[in-house]
Chain A
Amino acid sequence: MLLSIKNLHASINGKEILKGVNLEVNNGEIHAIMGPNGTGKSTLASVIAGRDVFETTSGEILYKGKNLQKLSIEERACEGIFLGFQYPVEIPGVSMTNFMRTAVNEIRKYKGLDALSGSEFIKLMEEKKKLVEITSNLTNRSVNEGFSGGEKKKNEIFQMAMLEPMLAILDETDSGLDIDALRIVANGVNKLRRPDNAFVVITHYQRLLDYIVPDFVHVLYEGKIVKSGGKELALELEDRGYDWIKKELGE
C-alpha cells in the first residue's frame, strides 16, 4: 500500500478541520475526493504535504510504510509526494529554470543520484513541456509571475511531469479552467499514470472525471470521509448534489 491514513485529526489555530479521516491508496490507483466547500479537502492535501500551519492532533499517515509526520516538507517531496496547488504561488525573481533545476537536482541528491548537467536538464525540460503541451518559453519567466489562471495550472502539471512523483495530490487543479486547459491537464495526468504511482484528485466537478477516470470516489464532509464508491458516485453527486448524503447522515 502506498498511502494509509488512519483516524486523522488536524486543526489550525485550535480549530479542528479534519475529524477522523480514513483513506487507503494503492499503487496504480486514481482516487477522487469530492465534497462541499470548507469541509477539509485542501487541509487534507496540505497535511499530507507537511504544511506546518496545521497541527495533527491524532491519527497517523503511513506512506510507503513510513510515518510521514516525522518527515519535513522537502523530505516528503523527495520521497515522491507532490501537491498540485489550488493557488500556485507567484515568485518574482526566481526563474522557472532555476526553480526546476534546483528541485530536480535536490531530489536526485536525496536519492543518491548525480545532478543533471545543464544540457541534460534542458533536454528533460523540453521533453516534459511537450508532454503537457506547454508551448511558451518558460526559461526566462519567473515562477508563475504574470501567468494566466490556466497557465498556472498547466505549470503545476508540468512540474509534476518534471519531478515524477509516486503520489500526486491535485488540489482543485481543474477549477477556473476552460475546457481546452482542462483537457490538457487531464491528458497530463493520464500520460503520467504508471502502475506504480497514484493520484488523488480533489475536485468540485464531475467534468474533470470525464477525462480522468477514477477508481474510487470519496465524499469528504465535515472533516470525515462519509461515503466512498466507484466512479458512478461522482455522477450521482453531479446529479443529486450533497443533500441526500447529509440526509443519510441524519442531518
Chain B
Amino acid sequence: MESTQQHSITLERMVDLFETNRKVLSSNDTALLAGIRDKAFTLFGSLGFPHTRMEAWRNTDLKESLGLGYDYYFHPLPEADIQKVFRCNIPNLDTAIIGQLNGWYVSKDVPLMELGNGIIMGSLAEAKKKYPTLVEKYYNLSTNDVSDVFTAMNTAFEQDGVFIFVPQGVKSPKPVQLINVIHHQDNIFMQSRNLIVIGDNASLSLVHCDDSYNQQASFSNLVSEVFLGENAFLDHYKLQNLNNNSTLISASYFKLEAGANLESHYLSLNGGLIRNNIQVLFNGVHGNANIFGLYLMDRKQHIDNQVFVDHAFSDCTSNEIFKGVLDENARGVFNGHVLVRRNSTKTDARQTNKNILLTDTARINSQPFLEIYNDDVKCAHGSSTGQLDPEAMFYLRQRGISEESARMLLMFAFAEEIVGKIAIPQLRQRIEDMVKKRLQGELRICEQCVLHCSTPNHPLDFKIDLSKI
C-alpha cells in the first residue's frame, strides 16, 4: 500500500503506516541509515504526540491540526503543472532554484546536480544512493540525541528532501533558492528531510521558502540538518508563506565548527499554525550566530518560535532578535533558551523578543531564558509587548498623515529592523514589498503562493510610498 486517504494523524495510524510500508521507506537506505530509521521509529512510538500539559507544548495546541484528515503518500505525485507551481522566483535575482513538491525533490530528470566546483545539490534520496559515505558521515548527527517526537517521526518516515554539499574552500557563486510547495487537491500530510553540509572555509547563501499553492489543509513536518565547517559561512533565509489551513512544524539543527558564522532569518508572513524549532550548537570556539525572526500574524493564526542556542565552546557570540505584529485573534509564542556551559568563557549572548499586539484579543507568550554556568560572559535578554506608541501616532497624524497610514508607517518601521538585515538586495526589496502588502491586509486575498502576486498580472500598488528615495 503506497498511500492512505484522509485519516487524522494518530500514533496508531503512523505505527501502522510504518510497519506496512517499512520496505518502501528504507528502499534508498544503507544498512546504517536503515538502523537509524528503526531506532527513530522506536523513539517516536515511545514519545507519542504532544499535548498542552507538556511544558514545551503548553502554548501550542496541535489537537485540531492533527485531528484533520490527511492523505499520506509514499511516492511522489505526478509533477503536473510544474512550471505554474514554480513561478516563485525573485525578479532580477540570479539563483540556482531547487524545487520540492509536497516535500519530494522535483527532479526534471536530473535528481542530483554535480557542479564543476564540486558543489552537489539535489535529492537526498538520490544522494543516499550515490554518495552513501558522505551522507552517512553527517546524517542524523545533530538529531541522534534529540527526544523530539516530530524530529523522530521525520527520521523514521522521511523518503526525500534536499541535499546540498559545498566542499571545503568553495564559495557558492550565487544564492540557492529552495522552494517547497504544497500542492494537492486534498488535504495532505508530508514530511521531508534536508541535509546541508558546508565545508571548512566554504560559504553558501540559501533562501528556503515554504509555500502552499491552494487553500487545501496540509500538515508539514520538516527537518533540516545544517553543518557549518570551520570558518564556514551560511546566510540563511527561511521564508514561510502558507495558507491559513496549513500546519508547519519546521525543525532546523545548525552545528557550527570553530570560527563558523551563521546568519539566519526566519520570516513568517502567513500560515495557519507554524512552529519553528531552531537549534544552534557551537561545536568549536569563535563561532558566531545571528538569528533573526519576523512574524506577522492575524485572524486565528498561530506562530511559535522555539530557539535554543548551546554555547558549548568558549569565545562564541550569538544574537537573537525576534519581532512580531499580532492582529485580531492571532497567537504568538516565543521561547528562547541560551545555554552557556561551564567552560564557555567569553561568551557573548543576546536575546530579544518584541511584539506589537494590535487588538485586545491577540496574545503572545514570550519567555526569553538564559542558563549560564560561567562567570566570564556577556549576556543580555529582553522582551517587550505593547501597542503602537500613542505619542508617535499623535505626532504623525498631527502632520496630516491618516490614522491608517500612520499605523502602517509605525508597523513597517518595527519590521524594518529585521527586514533591513537581509543581505541580498533583491530579496530585501521583495520582502519589504511583501511585508507592506501583509501589513495592509492585502496578502490574504491572494489565493496562491504570494510570490506570484507581483507577477505582471498582479502589480504591486501601495497607497503610500514607503520606498527610500
> How far apart are the CA atoms of A4 and B221 in the complex, in Å?
67
Q: With a CB–CB cut-off of 8 A, which chain A residues contact B468? A: 95, 97-98, 140
Task: Report whether B400 and A89 are in contact in the complex, using a CB–CB cutoff of 8 Å.
Answer: no
Say whether B410 faces chain A, with CB atoms less than 8 Å apart: yes
| B417 proximal to A (CB < 8 A) | yes
Bound state CA distance, A91 and B389, in angstroms?
9
- The interface residues of chain B lying within 8 Å CB-to-CB of A72 are 397, 403
23 contacts between A and B (CB under 8 A): A73-B403, A74-B397, A74-B400, A88-B395, A89-B395, A91-B396, A91-B413, A93-B417, A94-B412, A95-B468, A98-B468, A99-B409, A102-B405, A102-B464, A103-B400, A103-B401, A105-B464, A105-B465, A106-B405, A142-B413, A143-B395, A159-B399, A163-B399
A26 to B392, CA, bound (A): 31
B409 A98 Cβ-Cβ under 8 A: yes
A122 partner, pick from B402, B405, B412, B469, beta carbons under 8 A: B469
> Using a Cβ–Cβ cut-off of 8 Å, how many residues does chain B contribute to the interface with A?
27
* B394 CB within 8 Å of chain A: yes
> How far apart are B408's CB and chain A's nearest CB, in angstroms?
9
Given the known interface contacts A73-B397, A85-B395, A88-B395, the answer about A97 and B403 at a Cβ–Cβ threshold of 8 Å is: no
User: Assuming the A-B contacts A91-B392, A101-B465, are A77 and B414 also in contact, with contact meaning beta carbons closer than 8 angstroms in the complex?
Assistant: no
CB < 8 Å A-B pair total: 92
What 13 new A-B contacts, CB under 8 Å, besides A72-B397, A101-B465?
Answer: A77-B397, A77-B398, A77-B400, A85-B395, A85-B398, A93-B417, A94-B413, A102-B401, A102-B465, A102-B466, A103-B401, A106-B464, A122-B469
Q: In the assembled complex, which residues on chain A have CB atoms less than 8 Å from the CB atom of B399?
A: 77, 99-100, 103, 159, 163
Quick check: is B109 within 8 A (CB to CB) of the other chain? no
- Residues from chain B with Cβ under 8 Å of A74 in the complex: 397-398, 400-403, 406
Given A72-B403, A73-B394, decide whether A93 and B465 contact each other with a Cβ distance below 8 A: no
Known contacts A97-B468, A98-B466, A91 near B395 by CB under 8 Å: yes
Contacting A107 at CB < 8 Å: which of B396, B400, B416?
B400
B410–A91 CB distance below 8 A: yes
Question: How far apart are the CA atoms of A88 and B399 in the complex, in Å?
Answer: 12
Given the complex of chains A and B, what is the CA–CA distance between A95 and B403 in angstroms?
Answer: 18
Contact yes or no, B414 A106, CB < 8 A: no
- Of chain B, the residue at the smallest CB distance from A118 is B469
Q: Does B64 have its Cβ within 8 Å of any Cβ on chain A?
A: no
B403 neighbours in A (Cβ, 8 Å) = 72-74
Contact with A along B455-469 (1 / 0, CB 8 A): 000000000111011
Closest residue of chain B to A119 (Cβ to Cβ) is B469
Docked complex Cα distance between A139 and B394 (Å): 22
Is A93 within 8 A of B416, CB to CB? Answer: yes
Cα-based distance from A56 to B392 in the complex (angstroms): 22
Chain A, residues 199-221, CB within 8 Å of chain B (1/0): the string is 00000000000000000000000
Leading 7 A-B pairs by shortest Cβ distance: A93-B413, A77-B400, A103-B399, A73-B397, A107-B400, A89-B395, A94-B413
